[in-house]
A and B are shown apart, each in its own frame.
Chain A
Amino acid sequence: MSSIAEPALEFRNVTKRYGETTVLEDFDFQLGAGEKVALIGPSGSGKSTVLRIAMALEDIQGGTVRVHGIPLWLDGVAADRAQTRRARARLGMVFQHFHLFPHLSVLENLTLAPRLVNKKKADEAAEQAIALLRRVGLEDKAQAWPEQLSGGQKQRVAIARALALQPDIMLFDEVTSALDPEMVGEVLEVLRELGETTSMSMLLVTHEMAFARQFADRVVFMDGGKVVEAGPPEELFGNPREERTRQFLSRVQPM
Chain B
Amino acid sequence: MIEFLQTHLPPLVAGLRVTLQLTVGGGICALVLAALAGLARRSSRRWLRWPATVYVEVFRGTSAMVQLFWFYFALPFFGVSLPALVTGVLVLGLNSGAYGAEVVRSAIDHVPRGQWEAGRALNLSDQRILLRIVLPQALPMMLPPAGNLVVELMKNTALVSLITLSELTFAAQVQRAATLETVPLFALTLLIYFVLAQVLLAGVRRIEHYVTRHRGSRA
Direct contact of A and B (CB under 8 A): yes
Nearest residue in B to A91 (C-beta to C-beta)?
Answer: B121
Nearest residue in B to A144 (C-beta to C-beta)?
Answer: B216
Residues of B with C-beta under 8 A to A102: 137, 215-217, 219
**A55, A100, A147, A148: which contacts B121 (Cβ < 8 A)?**
A55
Min CB–CB distance A230 → chain B (angstroms): 25
Min CB–CB distance B116 → chain A (angstroms): 9
**A103-B215, A146-B217, A147-B219 given; A57·B117 CB < 8 A:** yes
Q: With the chains together, A126 CA to B118 CA distance in Å?
A: 20
Q: With the chains together, A228 CA to B153 CA distance in Å?
A: 63
Task: Mark interface residues in B142-161 (1 if CB within 8 Å of A CB, else 0).
Answer: 00000000000000000000
A interface size (C-beta, 8 A):
30
Nearest residue in A to B211 (C-beta to C-beta)?
Answer: A103
Q: With the chains together, A92 CA to B122 CA distance in Å?
A: 7
Q: Is B128 in the interface zone, CB < 8 Å from A? A: yes
Min CB–CB distance B132 → chain A (angstroms): 7
**B120, B122, B125, B217: which contacts A112 (Cβ < 8 A)?**
B122
Task: Mark interface residues in A82-123 (1 if CB within 8 Å of B CB, else 0).
Answer: 000100110111010101111111000000110011000000
Min CB–CB distance B193 → chain A (angstroms): 36
Q: Is A29 in the interface zone, CB < 8 Å from B? A: no
Residues of A with C-beta under 8 A to B132: 112, 116
Q: Is B43 in the interface zone, CB < 8 Å from A? A: no
Q: Is A162 in the interface zone, CB < 8 Å from B? A: yes
Q: Is A145 in the interface zone, CB < 8 Å from B? A: yes
3 closest pairs, A vs B, by CB? A145-B216, A102-B217, A99-B118
Residues of A within 8 A of B (CB): 52, 55-57, 85, 88-89, 91-93, 95, 97, 99-105, 112-113, 116-117, 145-148, 161-162, 165
Q: List 13 A-B contacts (CB under 8 A).
A: A55-B117, A55-B121, A57-B117, A85-B123, A88-B120, A95-B117, A95-B118, A95-B121, A97-B114, A102-B216, A112-B124, A145-B215, A162-B121
